[in-house]
Amino acid sequence: MKNLLRLAVLIPLVAFAAPIDAGTPTPVFGKTWLSAVVINPLGSQVLVDTGAIEGPTAISFCAYASADIGTVLRVQLRDAANTTTVSEQLLTVQTLGTSSFCMDTQVSNGQRIRIINNAAVIGTVSASFLY
């Protein structure tokens, strides 16, 4: 009964979301969706990358991952020169599982956010990024 009650509370929240104008290609949450499916990715292989972001700005994003083998992905905020990781969040995926997180952050001009594979694996890894 508790699960049904929780579901009843969540449904109205979705119902009040702003409708998407069919003539506008921009989703309500973000403007860009990046995605990659990689077979046997190498360690530190870049899966998705936003490219340089115009800033300074506040950015909201969600990172999603799935894999047929257990793996760890790294969601990184990189400096404008793309040589140093400013901050990082690990995204752990269980075998045949999915994982995701969303966050808000400040981005300076030229910085980028990317998802890389932590270590080489034999299997298929999928990573997506909405911002």
Over residues 58-108, the pLDDT tens digits come to 889 999 999 999 999 999 999 999 999 999 999 999 999 999 999 999 999
Q: What's the rounded Cα separation, in Å, for the pair 93 and 90?
A: 10
The residue to which tokens 């973000």 are assigned: 30
Number of domains in the chain: 1
pTM of the model: 0.75
Alpha helices in the chain (DSSP H): 2-15
76 in a structural domain: yes
Q: Which three-class secondary structure state does DSSP give residue 2?
A: helix
Residue 7 in this model has a pLDDT that exceeds 70: no
In a domain, 2, yes or no: no
pLDDT at res. 26: 35
- Distance of alpha carbon 45 from its chain centroid, rounded? 16
Give a yes or no: residue 114 inside a domain: yes
Percent of the chain scored above 90 by pLDDT? 66
Confidence of residue 131 (pLDDT cuts 50, 70, 90): confident
Domain region containing 35: 28-130
Query: CB-based contacts of 40: which residues, under 8 Å, 6+ apart?
Result: 120, 121, 122, 123
Q: Is residue 6 part of a domain?
A: no
Query: In which band, very low, low, confident or very high, does the pLDDT at 24 lie, cut at 50, 70 and 90?
Result: very low
CATH of the domain at 44: 2.60.120.260
| Residue 63 included in any domain | yes
Note whether residue 7 is domain-resident: no
Q: Percent helix, strand and coil across the chain, each rounded to 5?
A: 10, 50, 40
pLDDT at 21 over 50: no
* 5 domain residue, yes or no: no
Residue 37 is predicted with a pLDDT of: 96
Q: Alpha-carbon distance 95 to 76, whole Å? A: 22
Residue 17 lies in a domain: no
* Whether the predicted pLDDT of 17 surpasses 60: no
Place of tokens 């508790």: 2
Q: Return the SS3 of 40.
A: coil
